[in-house]
Amino acid sequence: MPDTPQNQFSIDVNVTYIDEQSAPEEHRYVFAYTIHIENQGDTAARLIGRHWIITNADGKTQEVIGEGVVGQQPFLRPGENFSYTSSAAIETPVGSMHGSYQMRTENGEHFDAPIPAFSLAKPNTLH
């Protein structure tokens, strides 16, 4: 059984707590995240949108839906990759994010590439 296009995109995440933009006394914790997307399949596709679910430690969620990423809609041919950095702010020192990228192949097929859940955690908060 061949892989479907959504399973051919590898998504890796690196998260950094941004101390200088955070204000714990005001319940504001800011995290930068760098996403690395790689097309490991044989189908070229354009990232046309994103859908994030951001959850803090109290269970409060924020939903972010938008076009592209950081103002771009990268086209990834087989073997190509794209990286970008963005940020998120939550009201607790720990939280998580997950979601999907909306993709479109050259022949117009649409599919979602899932973004696995990853943690947002102020250093020395989780043991």
- pLDDT > 90 fraction of the chain, expressed in percent and rounded: 89
Q: Which domains does the chain have, with CATH numbers?
A: 5-121 (2.60.40.1470)
Region 56-73 average pLDDT = 96
Buried (b) or exposed (e) across 40-79, using 16+ Cβ within 10 A?
ebebbbebbbbebebbbbeeeeeeeeeebbeeeebebeee
Query: For residue 127, what pLDDT band results from cuts at 50, 70 and 90?
Result: low
Summarised one tens digit per residue, pLDDT across range 41-62 is 999 999 999 999 999 999 999 9
125 band by pLDDT with thresholds 50, 70 and 90: confident
The chain-wide mean pLDDT, for the chain, equals: 93
> Across 1-127, where does the E strand assignment appear?
9-17, 29-39, 45-56, 61-67, 75-76, 81-90, 94-105, 110-121
31 DSSP β-pair partners: 17, 88
Rounded Cα–Cα distance for residues 6 and 3 (Å): 8
